[in-house]
Amino acid sequence: MLAFIRDCIFGTLEDDPLSPADGRSPESIASEIVTRILNADSVESLRKQLKEEVSIDSWSEAIAKAILEGLKNAINAGTEMAKAAADAAAKSKEAAIDFATDHPVYATLIALGILALLMPWALEILGFGELGPIEGSFAAGWQSRYAGYVPKGALFGYFQRLGMKWHWVL
């Protein structure tokens, strides 16, 4: 009883995942689920199959992580998706486009937020480092065009200042 209460409050420990009654590993359960997701004919049949495969008592964080990893690998490998998975991907794309069309201000704010999150990474890639332009980078080549003197208000100086201030985000 105490273990049940502990698991409800703190979740199950990864070292101590709940094992299904048939004794299969989380990886084998995840493999079966990913196969069913990729090969399902309809969302309804997939839902029915998954209810049979995973119950509340047999679910664990290890199974969830293995499913996500399996789906990521399948997508990266370009695995052909069955009708249900392809329909879900198409509906997601359509919903995103509809949202952007219906709510352009929100979509713009989301895009700006993503750009703000990616900006430190992009600056670092371009060579605008925490301590100045990184040797051999695009930024170093750009600075060499100024022969060491960067005019006040130049775009180069702005990017370098951002690179020096935003290093902590990376």
Q: Are 142 and 132 in contact (CB under 8 A)?
A: no
Give me the count of residues in the chain: 170
Grade residue 18 by pLDDT with cuts at 50, 70 and 90. Answer: very low
pLDDT score, position 166: 72
Tell me the average pLDDT across 24-37. Answer: 77
Burial 16-46 (b: 16+ CB within 10 A, else e): ebbebeeeeebeebbebbbebbbebeeeeeb
pLDDT single digits (tens) 129-166: 888 888 888 888 888 887 878 888 888 888 888 888 87
Pairwise pLDDT comparison (41 vs 105), residue with the higher score: 105
State residue 76's pLDDT score. 73
Which has the minimum average pLDDT: 43-57, 65-79, 81-95? 43-57
Top pLDDT among 10 and 153 is at: 153
Distance from chain centroid for Cα 32: 23
Please count the other Cβ atoms lying within 10 Å of the Cβ belonging to residue 69.
13
Tell me, what amino acid is at 130? Answer: E
What percentage of the chain carries pLDDT values higher than 90?
Answer: 1
Percent of the chain with pLDDT over 70: 72
